[in-house]
Amino acid sequence: MPDSCVDKQREYLLSKLYPELHKAIPAKAILTSIEELRVYECDAFTTMRQLPLLTVLPDSIDQVIHVMRCCYDLDIPVVARGAGTGLTAGSMPVENGVLLGMSKFTRIHDIDLHNRTALIEPGVRNKAVSDAVAPYNLYFAPDPSSQLACSVGGNVAENAGGVHCLKYGLTVHNILELDIVTAEGERVTIGAAALDAAGYDLMAILTGSEGLLGIVVAIRVKLLPKPASARVLLAAFSSIEDAGNAIAEIIGNGIIPAGLEMIDQTGICAIEELMHAGYPTEAAAVIICELDGSIEEVEEELGRVISILEQLNGFDIQVSDNEAESQRIWAARKAAFPALARLAPDNYIMDGTIPRRALAQVWKTINALAAEYDLLVVNVFHAGDGNMHPSILFDASCEDQHRRAEELGTRILELCVQVGGTISGEHGIGLEKINQMCLQFNDAELRQFHALKKAFDEKSLLNPGKQIPTLARCAEFNHMHVHRGEMPFPDLERF
Amino acid sequence: MSVSMEHLQLSLVEKVENAFQNQTPLAIKAGGSKRFYGRAVEGESLSLSSYRGIINYEPSELVITARAGTPLLEIEKVLAEQGQMLAFEPPSFSPDATLGGTIACGLSGPRRPYSGAVRDYVLGATIINGRGELLKFGGQVMKNVAGYDVSRLMTGAQGTLGVLLDISLMVVPKPAYEETLSLTADHAHMQQLLSELGRQPMPVSATALIDNQLHIRLSGAASGVLAAKQRIGGESLTDADLFWHQLNEHRHPFFTCSDPLWRVSLPPAAPAIPSHLLTNVLVEWGGAARWGFSVSSGKELREWVMEQGGHVTCFRNPNDISEVFNPLTPALFKLSQRLKHSFDPHQILNPGRLYDGI
């Protein structure tokens, strides 16, 4: 459509929608000027942008219901947004759609100490939950790296993880109940304050549904007691194989660490330069292993882990003796992405997950692919749960580099699927990885996803075009992507 | 996949496809160990018993993948040989219980409040939907957010959304040491103690209150268990494994009664169930699961429980006047019907097993 037509369409929709919204929502909570809307045109994946028709900032559930009913009547799509820290353009607006900002939903309604739950609004920041219940020796387990800023509503939408999910699970394991508003503007409670609920486990599909099935307006989260002791251990290895073996051996010995991370040499050097955390820059890889539990339990496991690491050629083993030292080791790990930002203007972060046994092989193949595409790739890895975060460093202002980075990303994700893994462990699909969904799911599976979406949202108004690609899109992508009819990675052992 | 299993899978897909074409209802079954559970289903039998066997198990990955008809006992034995187990401690109710039935019914045992439920450990599933399509969701990795989490949704759906074929589960190491403490307590005393313990990092892995005796199982590193034992007090229970096993399998003397058995799910700190609604209640899961026998319709009990934020299931021997599962709110029922339709448009998969029309 030519620009003038786009503008006319926009004006027409605004003239229809605005007066309806305004019946229940004050003007100051409805943003329509281009300057104000710029703030909402992307999430933390900044290379994709789209201005919304308008942004509405409700501050009550009734207002959310009103927005949904207006949009349902006028067939206007709605994209919900929390703190906007998503990495896959999941909360990027859609053209001529409403951006529903949940930033005013920041109340913690109820902290129930006896049931160890808290009823909160979706805009509450992840870290704020743990801060609020810290005086009672409790915390909320999911801890994505963005936990200072990201909202719990966003955590639900993405099924966010973090560095402690091997032992404490993802968001889906740590929430009990959700209040949602449907596309039709109906409020529905799913899950329960009890440990299970009657009927289908709708919590399972709502969590991680990226705003395509309903708008989350209240969340009952589970709270856990803080462990009495947590010790963090850092060990260096001169080869990736040794580090990989050490991880398999720790878990094979019946130890479930609270966190188990691995970083390659480029990552170590970048982090060290920024954070000066004492990471050994000569190592091919480091492992960070956190053990938590009762004081006695941690001491016992610590001895066993150190002996495993030593047997498998670990060196420079450092053990935190206090909270500050643990913080130092973790802070450096969590600063991995800012550290990489110093190496290149742009960073394309992958999020594939693989069975741990394939680690060394996948790591080597990634390095070979990086050489083939002439790009630097840094590997930061949630080794405990197999979630890889290879970062492809590039300069987006160079068109060729940008194209190579995207292609390399697709090859890496394809590799993850090939070894029995998935294209996304915790960042979600959004729009950024929507093509790669075609690598993982066939037409029948995609049709089932679309049918499921339709059960919740018949008119397809909630975050349309995200997460689940159309069959036509996949046909096109797969056609472009088949390497002259060859199997990708023919030399690779299949699992 | 072995040729015979591949063949069997194809024939199962074909049967469902035919049933879809002819709109023939199917009653899915395997070991038949939980036939007593849920609403009665009329339909042509679709047996998964022969579709069995462990497909993949590597202890250091903490993942096992097996076919739906695999006996639960076989899975537990193979895991135990490697010092591992299913964290949700499922009841089997019969040596014939299968993995498929366990996942479909979504029942967890004594460890559930402390380690998580069946659905928490489901990583992936291959299913046949009601259109006779073979679909694969999830995978063999802990973290997977590609698409909707359909494999977890299958847990507890009792086959009404899809026929389970292959299932991948996360498994966990067996605790190095376990000990069960017994102390005298009434409901109020139990709640106070468990609420306090729950806010501390205690290695509690099961609780049960029967006839004013509170049993608390501790699991973990020996040093941690012994330290917790010192703090909690009470007597050490001999034959503790047998006790928890019998409780889980409903072979404890408490369960010898042929009246309808009710399972009440509540927030753990909800008050004791008034005795005019249910007498002689057995309390598990730190207060979150409660059992009792009653010949009433369960209507008043349901009303009280729903006010507390819970739900009631008539678990065994329902009489003519009782709904098996707690009725859903109209909005939730509508959503559930639409969801059912999206997987099974002709309502051929275990129709009516959960509710009339679902």
Q: Where are the alpha helices (DSSP H) in A219-349?
A: 240-252, 265-275, 295-311, 323-334, 336-341
As a whole-number percent, the residues of chain A with pLDDT over 70 amount to 96
**Cβ atoms of A120 and A152 closer than 8 Å:** yes
Residue at B339 is within a domain: no
Q: Does residue B182 share a domain with residue B168? A: no
Arithmetic mean of pLDDT, A450-474:
97
Question: Smallest Cβ distance to A190: which of B59, B224, B332?
Answer: B332
What residue has token string 């034992």? B229
Residue at A488 is within a domain: no
Q: Does residue A260 share a domain with residue A216? A: no
Predicted local distance difference test score (pLDDT) of residue A493: 47
A389 interfaces chain B, CB cutoff of 8 Å: no
Smallest CA–CA distance, residue B197 to chain A, in Å, is 9
CA angle B209, B215, B216 (to 5 degrees): 120
Residue at B149 is within a domain: yes
Q: What is the pLDDT of residues A143-173, one digit of tens each?
A: 998 899 999 999 999 999 988 898 999 999 9
Query: How far is it, in rounded angstroms, from Cα B207 to Cα B198?
Result: 12
Q: Does residue A367 share a domain with residue A454? A: yes
Q: Does residue B165 share a domain with residue B74? A: yes
Q: Does residue B158 share a domain with residue B74? A: yes
Residue at B357 is within a domain: no
Q: Does residue B136 share a domain with residue B9? A: yes
Flag if B142 and A165 touch (Cβ within 8 Å): yes
Q: What is the pLDDT of residues A362-380, one digit of tens each?
A: 988 999 999 999 999 998 8
A471 interfaces chain B, CB cutoff of 8 Å: no
Pick the closest to residue A212 from A175, A174, A183 (CA basis).
A183
Q: What is the CATH number of the domain that holds A401?
A: 3.30.70.2740
Q: What is the CATH number of the domain that holds A280?
A: 3.30.70.2190
Please, which residues 85-104 of chain A have a Cβ atom closer than 8 Å to chain B? none
Q: Across the strands, what pairs with B173?
A: B84
Q: Does residue A172 share a domain with residue A188? A: yes
Asked if residue A485 has pLDDT above 90, the reply is no
Q: Give Cβ neighbours of residue B58 (< 8 Å, ≥ 6 apart).
A: A355, A357
Higher-scoring residue by pLDDT: A340, A437: A437
Domain C-terminal end among A306, A339, A372:
A339
Q: Quote the number of domains for chain B.
A: 3
Asked if residue B11 has pLDDT above 90, the reply is yes
What residue has token string 């450990």? B121
As a whole-number percent, the residues of chain A with pLDDT over 90 amount to 78
Chain mean position to CA A486: 32
Residue at A26 is within a domain: yes
A449 interfaces chain B, CB cutoff of 8 Å: yes
**What's the Rg (C-alpha) of chain A?**
23
Q: What is the pLDDT of residues B20-65, one digit of tens each?
A: 999 999 999 999 999 999 999 999 999 999 999 999 998 989 999 9
**What's the Rg (C-alpha) of chain B?**
21
Q: Does residue B35 share a domain with residue B167? A: yes
Residue at B329 is within a domain: no
Arithmetic mean of pLDDT, B146-160:
98
Predicted local distance difference test score (pLDDT) of residue A336: 83
Q: Give Cβ neighbours of residue A288 (< 8 Å, ≥ 6 apart).
A: A232, A233, A234, A259, A260, A261, A262, A263, A329, A330, A333
Q: What is the pLDDT of residues B129-138, one digit of tens each?
A: 999 999 999 9
Read off the pLDDT band of B16 (50, 70, 90).
very high
Predicted local distance difference test score (pLDDT) of residue B65: 98
Q: Does residue B86 share a domain with residue B217? A: no
Query: Which domain covers residue B268, as residue numbers?
Result: 259-316
Arithmetic mean of pLDDT, B144-158:
97
Read off the pLDDT band of A341 (50, 70, 90).
confident
Predicted local distance difference test score (pLDDT) of residue A1: 57
Query: How far is it, in rounded angstroms, from Cα B47 to Cα A228?
Result: 50
Residue at B322 is within a domain: no
Predicted local distance difference test score (pLDDT) of residue A484: 39
ipTM over 0.85: yes
A448 interfaces chain B, CB cutoff of 8 Å: yes
Read off the pLDDT band of A2 (50, 70, 90).
low
Domain C-terminal end among A181, A206, A225:
A225
As a whole-number percent, the residues of chain B with pLDDT over 70 amount to 100
Predicted local distance difference test score (pLDDT) of residue A380: 86
**Cβ atoms of B48 and B100 closer than 8 Å:** yes
Q: Does residue A477 share a domain with residue A348? A: yes
**Cβ atoms of A357 and A346 closer than 8 Å:** no
Q: Does residue A470 share a domain with residue A352? A: yes
Q: Which residue of A has its CA nearest to B198?
A: A225
Asked if residue A74 has pLDDT above 80, the reply is yes
Q: Does residue A118 share a domain with residue A156? A: yes
Q: Across the strands, what pairs with B56?
A: B65
- The encoded tokens of residue B181 equal 């403490």
Read off the pLDDT band of B237 (50, 70, 90).
very high
Question: Smallest Cβ distance to A297: which of B157, B220, B326?
Answer: B220
Q: What is the CATH number of the domain that holds A76?
A: 3.30.43.10
Asked if residue B294 has pLDDT above 50, the reply is yes
As a whole-number percent, the residues of chain B with pLDDT over 90 amount to 95
For A27, phi then psi, to 5°, come to: -55, -35
- H or E stretch at A13: helix A3-22
Residue at A494 is within a domain: no
Q: Does residue A280 share a domain with residue A393? A: no
Q: Does residue B78 share a domain with residue B11? A: yes
Q: Does residue B234 share a domain with residue B121? A: no
Q: What is the pLDDT of residues A238-292, one digit of tens each?
A: 998 899 899 989 998 989 999 999 999 989 998 898 888 888 999 999 999 999 9
Flag if B142 and A468 touch (Cβ within 8 Å): no
Residue at A491 is within a domain: no
Q: What is the pLDDT of residues B190-236, one digit of tens each?
A: 999 999 999 999 999 999 999 999 999 999 989 899 999 999 999 99
Q: Does residue A162 share a domain with residue A76? A: no
Arithmetic mean of pLDDT, B239-251:
98
Predicted local distance difference test score (pLDDT) of residue B309: 97
Higher-scoring residue by pLDDT: A341, B253: B253
Residue at A490 is within a domain: no
Q: Quote the number of domains for chain A.
A: 4
Q: What is the CATH number of the domain that holds B230?
A: 3.30.70
Q: What is the pLDDT of residues B316-329, one digit of tens each?
A: 998 887 789 999 99
**Cβ atoms of A203 and A191 closer than 8 Å:** yes
- The encoded tokens of residue B18 equal 């035919």
Question: Smallest Cβ distance to A455: which of B176, B266, B341?
Answer: B341
Q: Which residues in chain A have their CB less than 8 angstroms from residue B153's CB?
A: 200-202, 204-205
What DSSP letter does each residue of A409-476 carry, written as one string? HHHHHHHHHHTT-BSBSSS--TTTTTTTHHHH--HHHHHHHHHHHHHH-TT--BSTTSSS--HHHHHH
Secondary structure of chain B: what % helix, strand, coil (to 5)?
30, 25, 45
Q: What is the CATH number of the domain that holds A167?
A: 3.30.465.10
Q: Does residue B231 share a domain with residue B135? A: no
Please, which residues 89-148 of chain B have a Cβ atom closer than 8 Å to chain A? 106, 112-113, 116-117, 119-120, 129, 133-137, 139-148
Q: What is the CATH number of the domain that holds B156?
A: 3.30.465.10
Predicted local distance difference test score (pLDDT) of residue A275: 86
Taken in order A372, A378, A382, A384, is the CA torsion positive or negative? positive
Asked if residue A490 has pLDDT above 70, the reply is no
Please, which residues 298-337 of chain B have a Cβ atom closer than 8 Å to chain A? 309-311, 313, 325-329, 331-333, 335-336
Asked if residue A491 has pLDDT above 60, the reply is no
Q: Which of B145, B189, B307 should one mutate to test binding to chain A, selecting the residue with the greatest count of A CBs within 10 A?
A: B145
Q: Across the strands, what pairs with B218?
A: B179, B204
Q: Does residue B59 share a domain with residue B29? A: yes
**Cβ atoms of B180 and B243 closer than 8 Å:** yes
Arithmetic mean of pLDDT, B286-311:
96
Q: What is the rounded average pLDDT for all residues in chain B?
A: 96
Range B299-327 burial, b when 16+ CB lie within 10 A, else e: eebbebbbebbbbbbbbbebeeebbbbbe
Residue type present at position A17: L
Q: Does residue B96 share a domain with residue B24? A: yes
What DSSP letter does each residue of B182-216 carry, written as one string? EEE--HHHHHHHHHHHHTS---EEEEEEETTEEEE
Query: Which domain covers residue A168, as residue numbers?
Result: 108-225
Domain C-terminal end among B194, B226, B248:
B248
A282 by Cβ neighbours in 10 Å (0-12 / 13-18 / 19+) ranks as exposed
Q: Does residue A114 share a domain with residue A44? A: no
Q: Does residue B273 share a domain with residue B238? A: no
Arithmetic mean of pLDDT, A451-480:
95
Asked if residue A495 has pLDDT above 60, the reply is no
Query: How far is it, in rounded angstroms, from Cα B260 to Cα B319?
Result: 7
**Cβ atoms of A385 and A258 closer than 8 Å:** no
Q: Which residue of A has its CA nearest to B284?
A: A195
Question: Smallest Cβ distance to A297: which of B141, B224, B265?
Answer: B224
Q: What is the rounded average pLDDT for all residues in chain A?
A: 93
Domain C-terminal end among A181, A201, A225:
A225
Q: What is the pLDDT of residues A418-441, one digit of tens each?
A: 999 999 999 999 999 999 999 999
Predicted local distance difference test score (pLDDT) of residue A328: 87
Asked if residue B95 has pLDDT above 60, the reply is yes
Strands, DSSP E only, in A116-214?
Answer: 117-120, 138-139, 175-181, 187-191
Q: Where are the alpha helices (DSSP H) in A159-294?
A: 165-168, 202-206, 240-252, 265-275
Smallest CA–CA distance, residue A402 to chain B, in Å, is 24
Predicted local distance difference test score (pLDDT) of residue A478: 85
Predicted local distance difference test score (pLDDT) of residue A60: 98
CA angle B138, B140, B145 (to 5 degrees): 40
Q: Across the strands, what pairs with A234?
A: A288, A318
